[in-house]
Amino acid sequence: MAEDMLASVKTDPAPGSTKLMKVPKPKPGQGEVLIRVRVASICGTDVHIYNWDEWAQARIKPPLIQGHEFAGDVVELGPNTSHVQVGDYVSAEGHIACGVCYQCRTGQSHICPNVRIIGVDRDGAFAEYVAVPEENIIVNPPDLPLEIASIQDPFGNSVQTVFSADVPGNYVAIFGLGPTGLMSVALCRAVAARKIFAIGHVNEYRMSLAKELGADLVLRSSDELETMIANETDGRMVDHVLEMSGNQEAFNLGLKILRPGGGMHVLGIYPSPFTVDVSSDIVTKGISLHGIHGRHMYEDWYRMAGLLTSGKFNLKPVITHRFPFQEFLEAMEVMASGNSGKVVVYME
Amino acid sequence: MAEDMLASVKTDPAPGSTKLMKVPKPKPGQGEVLIRVRVASICGTDVHIYNWDEWAQARIKPPLIQGHEFAGDVVELGPNTSHVQVGDYVSAEGHIACGVCYQCRTGQSHICPNVRIIGVDRDGAFAEYVAVPEENIIVNPPDLPLEIASIQDPFGNSVQTVFSADVPGNYVAIFGLGPTGLMSVALCRAVAARKIFAIGHVNEYRMSLAKELGADLVLRSSDELETMIANETDGRMVDHVLEMSGNQEAFNLGLKILRPGGGMHVLGIYPSPFTVDVSSDIVTKGISLHGIHGRHMYEDWYRMAGLLTSGKFNLKPVITHRFPFQEFLEAMEVMASGNSGKVVVYME
Amino acid sequence: MAEDMLASVKTDPAPGSTKLMKVPKPKPGQGEVLIRVRVASICGTDVHIYNWDEWAQARIKPPLIQGHEFAGDVVELGPNTSHVQVGDYVSAEGHIACGVCYQCRTGQSHICPNVRIIGVDRDGAFAEYVAVPEENIIVNPPDLPLEIASIQDPFGNSVQTVFSADVPGNYVAIFGLGPTGLMSVALCRAVAARKIFAIGHVNEYRMSLAKELGADLVLRSSDELETMIANETDGRMVDHVLEMSGNQEAFNLGLKILRPGGGMHVLGIYPSPFTVDVSSDIVTKGISLHGIHGRHMYEDWYRMAGLLTSGKFNLKPVITHRFPFQEFLEAMEVMASGNSGKVVVYME
Amino acid sequence: MAEDMLASVKTDPAPGSTKLMKVPKPKPGQGEVLIRVRVASICGTDVHIYNWDEWAQARIKPPLIQGHEFAGDVVELGPNTSHVQVGDYVSAEGHIACGVCYQCRTGQSHICPNVRIIGVDRDGAFAEYVAVPEENIIVNPPDLPLEIASIQDPFGNSVQTVFSADVPGNYVAIFGLGPTGLMSVALCRAVAARKIFAIGHVNEYRMSLAKELGADLVLRSSDELETMIANETDGRMVDHVLEMSGNQEAFNLGLKILRPGGGMHVLGIYPSPFTVDVSSDIVTKGISLHGIHGRHMYEDWYRMAGLLTSGKFNLKPVITHRFPFQEFLEAMEVMASGNSGKVVVYME
């Protein structure tokens, strides 16, 4: 007789269509562990699915339990697991890599072309329980707060982006002040950037959060940006740009404010192809441009644990809203509004 | 009483307008040396100036002696030189960096924003004598053939591009089979690429040269390219693309045939901005894209000397035409035709 | 009813004590595959075990089937395998990493502190059949000759060492002309080293093999070496040293002939600690020294496949002796004599 | 008629023999500028010369004005200078590189084999005026405090060492708690190390400074260190060791506490060669060991300016004693005692 659990289920291929309901509690399969979820957080991807945009229509097969950011306790081990124990306090990498392709066999499983994502391609963590391959489990430091443990997956995007650049003592510009942008501001501050230029668009709320997290200047993306940056850097321009907005004007403006030899690190996803001045903005300036996806498995997770326990910085201001699981739909609406940092949901 | 010398002079701001004529022999200034030119070679840039295209109209101030690729002997030292000697067999880096900017002070003088180029911004080497800052002088290995010594400046572009990638044992595609593309084919062969895909457009002449220099497959840029590459690499796709064509279709096709995690190395200059699918072709695939300009000063020159004396490969097939200086205008016409590899001119 | 197979068994904790005998054919366990061995080759490690030296006495628990270098065909799959197929033509990485330690989770499983080695810590490939974890299986290119496929494990040591250095166009010295040294000579030649100095001790046989494989100069380790290298490099000294001899004089001499800023890459294992002039030979010269162990799993294997199919070089001269399996003890004696390159044994 | 200035002169080849006296004010030569010194600081090297140890006897030719750490104002330009202006607030890189060797031409002038050092091989900054090549001048940020500007040369040693490692989020051990060790503690704290283990020998004074600058644990070098580090890192051991003590036990202990794959970064200078267990401590653990000398010219200076103006950390506690120039000999005695951090001397 199967036990039930409470879960948020995307029931139909349509906008909204998300219901809190009872569903069977999952069984951990070969090499999987079962986790009692204590906190989960909402990703921009979850909003895309909730709103049922073009990307979601092509990728998602309802019914689906969403959610890939969480923290909880291991309660059951499936067959053929090895090192994780019942009782471990864990989070998980959301990308389940295939393990056998060229990328997986050469330390690049974060860009495995056969990846399946928790809460996207299989049931996820907006539920009382979630089953996850042991391979993907991260055992958290015992004193890591639950809600910080939950946002490690997106924090890992920031970590990969920031450490793709060479920040200490250098000028950095961060475009896009959503949660990953904000966490990147905090990271750049924590590793002693010379000046951090946080560049947003219209959202006052997030621009003020950027200031609180350590930005030296919070600027609006505009035509005068190039001149302002020249003044603020004595004509050198910025050494690295972190593009996290997914806005094509930001991408091109980012290239303009880079010094010759600078680095462009792009996590943003753009709705469509767009025009780039490759010759003037990349080739003759000797720019290096890096596409960033996911998190290095699992170097970035170890670095995260180290950063979060270094006592050097505080991600807490990034979390702006907290809800009990019963109010999950309200949580989703707040996240969808854009007037928030990270939104977390407590299952307990 | 000033001596005269024979020089090729771009006399007027118009297409053609190049004349062989007597002009005063230059005097080496502070920190400069005077070189008797023995061989010079013609760069694509020289064709742009000769044809007086938009770029040339904006940059060039006639009268000008063009030419920055050459080899010859030092015949006179200006004041305040230190290590170069009269009689040295030399070539020169064509980029005269300012020496005091951020780039110059941090090992990146190849992308100095204040660069002045020999034969572009000051008189160059299509003449019996040329004055060059001692800083830019490269003393050649004594047994390096004159015409090979002359083409080191463009070979250095290929060297920077190829060593920006990780070629040994890997799949490489080279777009653009002009002289730098052809030299890159030879280089990739010399460092044991797994397979070299040389991708041209319409020019049979250059496609056959690519084969001779070591390409495994010489292909035309086309819609089927992606499928062909998948077949030739067992579905892995290429590890690195060297984009040397300056053609926007080649750039975008290059991104398509890269494996996730691959590297794109761009030396090509494009006539105008163009549309790129940044999300699908760069970000989610975790691609690194490197703009390449000039030559590392002077790491790439030392590596070149080493490669050219390694006995491992032969650049000679890249040189397809040789002219005496008296027939300089014919040399220029051959280069402008596109039906050539490298064209060299013998002053002696 | 268990089937039998012919195997070479180290029966007792004593020198020699190796017998060809019938033993039960192994069964592939969880996640393992069974391979019919067609060719195996003998490693220096096998000689240590055969001779029962101090290291062997501390590590080895007879009875043991030795052997970790081989090529063969998959004939049976154990439970829970995924991608390898019966009939695949394979070799294997000899290091079985634990998969859960910091190193294994961060792309450094080649230095997993919990490693177990095939033919050292569990039964190996000097037998008609060997069982190996699927994780460790390498599917070979179909046209790779059997005996070349067999020596990939030690070739991988050379690959890791050579690509830890920056060889193309640079001066390289290789100390130690056993099989890994000889294969490194061939590799450095294949990637266009400026000059290769192969430095041996007393063994004429191997010094002549080094010449055949592409060394520019084959030298004896001696007091005059420093002066000779200065002359051969115009005073620059060598850019990289590959230390593969396990001889302490070679190590220290290697540091002396490095230029300031050069790289020292050490695969050699030394019988005991020894004196190093750290200040003069490493610190003030700004040397980087890299300890090399095993092969990157599995980047180095992919690179190997690429190199071996590039048509750029030929490892065949490294294999100097071939025996049928029945003459295994003679094969071992030849390898132990030091007067050989690689010794291979044919099971079929 | 030459003007005079007050200077501290090492008059004779003997211990002590340092006198404050009037000497002729220097004239800036070709490409040099003259600086009015406002603050100078004392380096360990200055103590070696003061004490006239073996190294000093071999290198130094009295009479000599010592001192290479300073800050001041440019008061006069020699012939053939270009960018520095009279009135600029400056410090200087102490290593005068030759500019023409392989190292200088390839971005490695910090290890130029022909280097001449200010205050060691030519007159230095323990004087009212010092002449320095313009090439070596660093124009300081206007708000950088004089005494912090003065200690940039040794701070640059720490910067090169710390950024040779990968510190953020990782475990780091620093051996040697003299000024460069202490500044490295501050740096590692400023870039969010997971834990900093500061390891001293007997000096309580410096061990307490290390705590103040951000060390998580200040330990004595001892036999139990390995076990303690294992406990503090959950068995992982440290990721990077910065060896700044010049003590051979520290060097070997540093290797022992490194995790497989870790990095050893050595700035310390050892009085003599010593025994190292290369096989067990470097090769089979896959350690990378980096000799560190001087400062990258001038990347490290730009990074320093950025770090010092980032508002992220405070070097002030490293400066423990301040003297007027008239009490220079007392300042030297304090520095020689070992019971100090950095000692600075005010000329004004």
Quote ipTM for the complex. 0.96
Residues of chain B with Cβ-Cβ distance to D83 below 8 Å are 100
Taking the Cβ of residue D236 and every Cβ of chain C, the question of whether any pair is shorter than 8 Å is answered with yes
Burial state string for C23-51 with b = 16 or more CB within 10 A and e = fewer than 16 = bebbebeeebbbbbbbbbbbbebbbbbbe
B18, B42 Cβ separation under 8 angstroms? no
Min CA distance, B348 vs chain D (Å)? 31
Taking the Cβ of residue D306 and every Cβ of chain A, the question of whether any pair is shorter than 8 Å is answered with yes
Q: Give me chain C's average pLDDT, please.
A: 96
Are C289 and D270 within 8 A, CB to CB?
no
Crossing angle of helices C44-51 and C328-337, rounded to 10°:
100
A330, A194 Cβ separation under 8 angstroms? no
In degrees and rounded to multiples of 5, residue C279 shows phi and psi of: -60, -55
Q: Exposed (0-12), middle (13-18) or buried (19+): which is C122, by Cβ within 10 Å?
A: middle
Closest residue in D to C273 (Cα–Cα): D277
Taking the Cβ of residue D168 and every Cβ of chain A, the question of whether any pair is shorter than 8 Å is answered with yes
- Chains with at least 3 CB pairs less than 8 angstroms from chain B: A, C, D
- Chains with at least 3 CB pairs less than 8 angstroms from chain D: A, B, C
Cβ neighbours of A252 (radius 10 Å): 16
CA distance linking residue C154 with residue C41, whole number of Å: 10
For the segment B77-82, the average pLDDT, to the nearest whole number, is 94
Question: What is the Cα Rg of chain A in Å?
Answer: 20
Chain-centre distance for alpha carbon C157? 5
DSSP string of A295-347, one letter each residue: --TTHHHHHHHHHHTTTS---GGGEEEEEEGGGHHHHHHHHHHS--SEEEEE-
* Interval C68-108: pLDDT, tens: 999 999 999 999 999 999 999 999 999 999 999 999 999 99
Look at residue C118 in the predicted model and tell me its pLDDT.
98
pLDDT interval class at A204 (50, 70, 90):
confident
Strand ranges (E), chain B: 4-10, 18-24, 32-41, 64-65, 69-77, 89-92, 95-96, 116-117, 129-133, 137-139, 171-175, 195-200, 217-220, 238-243, 258-266, 274-276, 288-291, 319-324, 342-346
Structure tokens, B62: 């006639």
CA distance linking residue D262 with residue D266, whole number of Å: 13
Q: Is D283 helix (H, G, I), strand (E, B) or coil?
A: helix
Q: Is C12 helix (H, G, I), strand (E, B) or coil?
A: coil
Min CA distance, A271 vs chain B (Å)? 8
Structure tokens, C303: 């690179």
Residues of chain A with Cβ-Cβ distance to C102 below 8 Å are 302
This model's pTM is above 0.90: yes
Are B168 and C163 within 8 A, CB to CB?
yes
Look at residue A2 in the predicted model and tell me its pLDDT.
67
D193, D263 Cβ separation under 8 angstroms? no
Closest residue in D to B30 (Cα–Cα): D80
What is the number of residues in chain D?
A: 348
D185, D198 Cβ separation under 8 angstroms? yes
Q: Which DSSP letter does residue A193 get? A: B
Q: Is C260 helix (H, G, I), strand (E, B) or coil?
A: strand
Structure tokens, B103: 């780039």
Taking the Cβ of residue A310 and every Cβ of chain D, the question of whether any pair is shorter than 8 Å is answered with yes
Are D169 and A193 within 8 A, CB to CB?
no
Q: Choosing from D11, D18, D48, D110, which is the catalytic residue? A: D48
| Residue C163 confidence (pLDDT) above 70 | yes
Question: pLDDT per position in chain D (348 positions), as tens?
Answer: 569 999 999 999 999 899 999 999 999 999 999 999 999 999 999 999 999 999 999 999 999 999 999 999 999 999 999 999 999 999 999 999 999 999 999 999 999 999 999 999 999 999 999 999 999 999 999 999 999 999 999 999 999 999 999 999 999 999 999 999 999 999 999 999 999 999 987 678 888 999 999 999 999 888 799 999 999 999 999 999 999 999 999 999 999 999 999 999 999 999 999 999 999 999 999 999 999 999 999 999 999 999 999 887 889 999 999 999 999 999 999 999 988 999 999 998
Are C276 and D278 within 8 A, CB to CB?
yes
Q: Which DSSP letter does residue D25 get? A: P
Q: Give me chain A's average pLDDT, please.
A: 96
D265 is catalytic: no
Across the interface, of B303, B305, B309, the residue whose CB is closest to C168 is: B303
* Rounded percentage of chain A residues whose pLDDT exceeds 90: 93
CA distance linking residue A55 with residue A52, whole number of Å: 8
Residues of chain C with Cβ-Cβ distance to D289 below 8 Å are 282, 288-291
In degrees and rounded to multiples of 5, residue A136 shows phi and psi of: -90, -5
Residue numbers of A annotated as active site: 45, 48
D228 contacts: CB under 8 Å, gap ≥ 6: D219
Taking the Cβ of residue A309 and every Cβ of chain D, the question of whether any pair is shorter than 8 Å is answered with yes
Are D305 and A169 within 8 A, CB to CB?
yes
Are B273 and A268 within 8 A, CB to CB?
no
pLDDT interval class at A201 (50, 70, 90):
confident
Lowest-confidence region among A124-138, C117-131, D301-315: D301-315
Query: Can you state the percent helix, strand and coil of chain A, rounding each to 5?
Result: 30, 30, 40
3-state secondary structure B16-50: CCEEEEEEECCCCCCCEEEEEEEEEECCHHHHHHH
Structure tokens, D340: 């100090």
Residues of chain A with Cβ-Cβ distance to C105 below 8 Å are 297-298, 302
Residues of chain B with Cβ-Cβ distance to A288 below 8 Å are 288-291
Compute CA distances D237 → A298, C66, C108, D232, D256, whole Å: 18, 33, 15, 8, 9
| Residue B1 confidence (pLDDT) above 60 | no
**Pairing mode of beta strands A274-276, C95-96:** unpaired
Look at residue A223 in the predicted model and tell me its pLDDT.
78
Question: What is the Cα Rg of chain C in Å?
Answer: 20
Q: Exposed (0-12), middle (13-18) or buried (19+): which is B252, by Cβ within 10 Å?
A: middle
C189, C289 Cβ separation under 8 angstroms? no
Are B302 and D100 within 8 A, CB to CB?
no
Cβ neighbours of B2 (radius 10 Å): 9
pLDDT interval class at B73 (50, 70, 90):
very high
Residue numbers of C annotated as active site: 45, 48
For the segment A311-317, the average pLDDT, to the nearest whole number, is 86
Among residues C30, C150, C5, C28, the alpha carbon closest in space to that of C89 is found at C150
DSSP string of B137-172, one letter each residue: EEEPPTTS-HHHHHTHHHHHHHHHHHHHS--BTSEE
Taking the Cβ of residue C100 and every Cβ of chain A, the question of whether any pair is shorter than 8 Å is answered with yes
Look at residue C201 in the predicted model and tell me its pLDDT.
75
Across the interface, of C102, C251, C286, the residue whose CB is closest to D291 is: C286
Compute CA distances B128 → B20, C68, C234, C303, C315, whole Å: 11, 66, 31, 49, 50
Residues of chain D with Cβ-Cβ distance to B99 below 8 Å are 82
Are B189 and C312 within 8 A, CB to CB?
yes
* Interval B283-318: pLDDT, tens: 999 999 999 999 999 999 999 999 999 887 889 999
Are D168 and A189 within 8 A, CB to CB?
no
CA distance linking residue A72 with residue B126, whole number of Å: 74
A186 contacts: CB under 8 Å, gap ≥ 6: A213, A214, A313, A314, A315, A317, A318
Min CA distance, B290 vs chain A (Å)? 4
Q: Is C220 helix (H, G, I), strand (E, B) or coil?
A: strand
* Interval A33-76: pLDDT, tens: 999 999 999 999 999 999 999 999 999 999 999 999 999 999 99
Look at residue D2 in the predicted model and tell me its pLDDT.
67
| Residue A150 confidence (pLDDT) above 60 | yes
A58 contacts: CB under 8 Å, gap ≥ 6: none
For the segment A334-347, the average pLDDT, to the nearest whole number, is 93
pLDDT interval class at B2 (50, 70, 90):
low
Closest residue in B to C300 (Cα–Cα): B169
Residues of chain B with Cβ-Cβ distance to A276 below 8 Å are 273-276, 278
CA distance linking residue D40 with residue D147, whole number of Å: 8
- Chains with at least 3 CB pairs less than 8 angstroms from chain A: B, C, D
Among residues B189, B148, B160, B157, the alpha carbon closest in space to that of B342 is found at B148
Min CA distance, D168 vs chain A (Å)? 7
Q: Which of residues 46-65 of C touch B (CB under 8 A)?
A: none
Residue with token string 């040369």: D153
| Residue A1 confidence (pLDDT) above 70 | no
For the segment A132-157, the average pLDDT, to the nearest whole number, is 97
D40, D69 Cβ separation under 8 angstroms? yes
Compute CA distances C39 → C5, C146, C180, D57, D172, whole Å: 15, 7, 19, 64, 47
Structure tokens, B99: 């020496």
- Write down the H helix ranges in B214-298: 225-232, 248-256, 278
* Interval C9-38: pLDDT, tens: 999 999 989 999 999 999 999 999 999 999
Q: Examine residue D271 and say whether the peptide bond preceding it is cis (omega within 30 degrees of 0).
A: no
